[in-house]
Amino acid sequence: MNNDQHSIFFKAMMTGLFVGIIDTLICLTYNITYRNFTGYLPSSLINVSSLIFVVNLLLTVIGLVYYLFLRTFRRDVIYVIVFLLLTCFLLWKTTGIHRFMDVKENSGFKGLLGGIILILGISASCLPFLFRSKKFVDAVI
């Protein structure tokens, strides 16, 4: 299809969904690798089911937020700066989490959550680059 035939809303939402699917695979790989290397076992909050559901839903919503940024500010730079600052803020807040009384388990949770936040934050910040890519729109959307 031609790039002009897609609405901005549709492109933003589909770009967010595509990034969400890719991020789900990246987060699942990170989850397995992190748990194998560190020995962190508790999985009541961050597990396969929550990653699959939340990551896809979150990135689809972020695609809609990107659409709102486009309609409001008409600049990608503002969106990128906001999401990079949000990622830094969430990583900072992750350092103060006390989920477990055991220090080893608590630091394991912080590492797992911090890595997932970093993956999602970088991907959300890069969403405009895929949105503006003609090759991406022609091949994927």
Digit-coded pLDDT (tens) for 70-93: 999 988 999 999 999 999 999 999
**pLDDT tens, position by position, 111-127:** 999 999 999 999 999 99
What is the model's pTM? 0.90
Domain ranges for the chain = 3-139
Name every residue whose Cβ is closer than 8 Å to that of residue 71 and which is 6 or more positions away in sequence: 8
- CB atoms near residue 48 (< 10 Å): 13
